[in-house]
Amino acid sequence: GVVSIKLLQPFPEAELVAVLKGKSAVTVLERCDVTTLTSLVTHALFKALENNGLIRHLGIPAIDRLPKISTGVFGLGAHDLQSRHLIAAFENMESATNIPLFYLGSQFFSKNPSAKIAAIQERLRAAYPETEFMALETGANPHLLPAGAFRIRFHSVGGYGTIATGKLLTDILAGVLEMHSKSAPKYGSEKSGAPTNFFITVSPEPIKITNAELEEVEIAVSPDHKVFSHTNPLRGISEGGTFIMQSHHTPLEVWQELPAHARKTIREKRVNFYIIDGFGVARKHAPTPDLEIRMMGIAFIGAVCGHVDKVVAGTSEEAVLAKIQQQIKKKFGAKGAEVVNSNMAVIRDGLESTHKVDYSDAAFVEVERLPAAANDAGVAVSAAMQRVSINAQSAGLFDQDYFQEVVLDRFKDGTLAEAPVIPGNGLFIPVGSAAWKDKGLFRLSVPKFNADLCTGCMECALVCPDGAIPNTVHEIHDLLLTAIQQVDVTDQMKTMMSSHVFPLTKSIRDHYRKLPSKDPKPLHEIAADALTEMNLDNPTLERGFGGMIEVLSGFSVARTRPFFDVMEKATPGNGGLYSATIDPWKCTGCLECVDVCGPGALQEQKQDSKALAALKRSFTFLSNLPNTAPRFFSNATQPGGETKRLILDHENYYSMTGGHGGCRGCGEVTAIRLLTATNRAIHRERNKTHIHELESLIERLHAKMQSVEHDTHDPARLSRMQEAVKIIEKRLYHLESGPTGRGPSSAAFANATGCSSV
């Protein structure tokens, strides 16, 4: 039986004892690891046992023996409670071991650990042997729904309107099929740009429990086109189930881009696989751009209602649409016929635009034989730009690799709920862990940098909340030398090419001076012209420089008035070339930078695999380039200086990492980012000044000590001066290096505002 206790004080001791009298085993389920309910139940049973010989506690029935009492703690760390966990708790009461304390939904040991995790688990077993019994063995979830019932799980992105879509679809399905329904969303603190889920259950009988996430589903729907990059939407899908996914590619292209494990699951379970370009459908019908996302969700309703067997059930397309229209009228009829008709137009178009992926076709089988694409640059490139320390401390404390294995990888493969709870994985988060977050997974559009239109105003870097568009001024010779290092030639050839860099730099600079200010000629073309004029007369060297030109063609730089023309006029040879390079792992696609770019140097472009590859190549090239030279921002913190130039220094720009937990385009994060950058710039300048003062003071003290003679009236004078030097040198050490090797932090912030602090 089951007893539900709603109130702890006053505790219903007599009523509880009457129910438990004669029972052999009792399990108390606690939502918190402070087991208050267990204590109250135990006290009540002890009072009843005392009453067996002598009535000491009035009103409480007597019992002649205590049942075996176990405590099951559930829900810790937001781990879900599934039906299989409750079955395991019941079986524990019947077992001979009858574990007294266990955790439901949590594991402490992985069955197939890596060598590193296995060593940690062995230490855990040795130190806390009882831990091994605190997690119960579970089987598969039983199928508890009646015949005809089905479950839907959405995988989407915050800001796509999936919760509104899910609610509407729930109402439509319940009305069209004349069945009972329940639904629930799941999302984090971010309201835009982060993964979200929506769960729907439809049944011919009333649905009693829907608190748990739906691990087993008949239908999986993914408006998130990058879903396989961060989770597994096919997890728990039933045999012959349906999977509907957002994509603007052809079925063959989609099949080719799917990971091998996804193709294997679809084939083995004979999943009905459909694709729909929901955004393309919405774009045709939305009266304004801001309604496109909402309309996209409506298109998926058409895809589900028109192509899922359990919904269609042999009914004609027109009959299904007629029933849907009845529900749409019921929902939106009060808003007028135009609203009803526009929603129905999107639903109809969504139904018609959904295409089945016929993976049994020979062309699809052939695609699977193609070699997997080579792994390109990863988020580590972005993290390296942000200069986050990855030094591992003892026992894995603050170790990025440890954190990746026990937490981040589990998020990515969708197995976090079953991941072992290892000490430290919820307490010791690595410093700047956001630097390793890929915020660009979910974007559909991305800024494109047109260097010939850029004026170097830096408004894009100022407004970007993600730290995703570092503005940099480059020395021409640095660009050439970095490109040479990426050419596929021998080290000897690279050395020979490098010996020609400075005359080539001078020639390129002369070309820029002669060009009209509005000439859009890019750097790689100017470099090619300069090389032609140099008459190298060495075919091998020319081929090597041809490779350099090709590398430079993938990195856009601008000749701007403030950073090239003005500085060249003041001091020839001092000008630099300007870049605004998009970080593909931090850019969320909010396009705030496009909005503030007056000259139109940043423009929106739809992201595809080709555009993404170009972004990664460009940013990887930037990561190999030196920081902006100090002369371009040296007066930024001085009175009368151009303050915004301080963010040209990457140390200032990345004083707060990208990868924040706020919404896409969050203005609060922009404000915090600018505050930290300005604070860092000011304090670093003060520290430098103070270091020079201390070095000068130490030098003068040493000189003074050389001239100090023994003074009988003050014999301790020299020792005092020596002690003062030690104190000053210690302070100098802390300013220059200190325990971290990077000197003191310029400030400490305690941020507890919610979304931006997660």
- pLDDT tens figures, 341-377: 988 999 999 999 999 999 999 999 998 887 766 556 7
Mean of pLDDT values over 517-524: 85
CA 34 to chain CA mean position, Å: 32
Round to whole Å and give the CA distance between 584 and 741: 30
C-alpha dihedral, 309 to 310 to 315 to 318, nearest 10°: -80
- Beta strands at 68-74 and 101-104: parallel, antiparallel or unpaired: parallel
Residue 546 makes CB contacts below 8 A (sequence gap 6+) with none
418-427 in b/e burial notation, b at 16+ Cβ within 10 A?
Answer: bbbbbbbbee
Q: Which of 150, 121, 437 is nearest to 312 (CA)?
A: 150
Q: What is the residue-averaged pLDDT of the chain?
A: 89
pLDDT value, residue 313: 79
Q: Which of 275, 269, 239 is nearest to 257 (CA)?
A: 275
Residue 625's alpha-carbon distances to 333, 474, 476, 638, in angstroms, are 60, 8, 11, 27
Tens digits of per-residue pLDDT, 552-604?
Answer: 999 999 999 999 999 999 999 999 999 999 999 999 999 999 999 999 999 99
Indicate if the pLDDT at residue 756 is higher than 60: no
Contact status, residue 200 vs residue 169, Cβ threshold 8 Å:
yes
Q: Residue 242: in which H helix or E strand, if any?
A: strand 237-246
pLDDT value, residue 645: 96
Round to whole Å and give the CA distance between 728 and 748: 24
Alpha helices by DSSP H, listed for 419-556, are: 459-463, 476-485, 491-498, 501-514, 523-534, 539-552
Mean of pLDDT values over 474-495: 95
Give just the sign of the alpha carbon dihedral 200, 201, 204, 209: negative
Residue 318: helix, strand or coil by DSSP? helix
Indicate if the pLDDT at residue 21 is higher than 60: yes
Indicate if the pLDDT at residue 428 is higher than 80: no
DSSP string for 267-315: HHTT-EEEEE-HHHHHHHH-SSGGGHHHHHHHHHHHHHHHH-HHHHTT-
pLDDT value, residue 492: 94
Round to whole Å and give the CA distance between 473 and 634: 13
Indicate if the pLDDT at residue 195 is higher than 90: no
pLDDT value, residue 186: 86
Tokens of 718: 């020299």
> Half-sphere exposure of residue 79, counting CA atoms within 13 Å on the CB side?
24
Tens digits of per-residue pLDDT, 534-553?
Answer: 888 889 999 999 999 999 99
Tens digits of per-residue pLDDT, 61-97?
Answer: 999 999 999 999 998 877 888 999 999 999 999 998 8
Residue 78 burial by CB count (10 A; 0-12/13-18/19+): exposed, middle or buried? exposed
Residue 209 burial by CB count (10 A; 0-12/13-18/19+): exposed, middle or buried? exposed
pLDDT value, residue 53: 84
Round to whole Å and give the CA distance between 388 and 399: 12
Percent of the chain scoring above 90 in pLDDT? 59
pLDDT value, residue 551: 96
CATH 3.40.920.10 fits 150-368, yes or no: yes
What number of other Cβ atoms are within 10 A of residue 290's Cβ? Answer: 8
Residue 61: asked if its preceding bond is cis (omega within 30°), the reply is no
Phi and psi at residue 183, in whole multiples of 5°?
A: -150, 160
pLDDT value, residue 210: 64
pLDDT value, residue 427: 62
Mean of pLDDT values over 694-717: 88
Mean of pLDDT values over 456-472: 95
Q: What is the pTM of this model?
A: 0.81
What number of other Cβ atoms are within 10 A of residue 620's Cβ? Answer: 21
Mean of pLDDT values over 254-266: 93
pLDDT value, residue 744: 87
Domain boundaries, the chain: 13-106, 150-368, 379-436, 445-675, 679-757
Per the model's pLDDT, the better-predicted residue between 440 and 396 turns out to be: 440
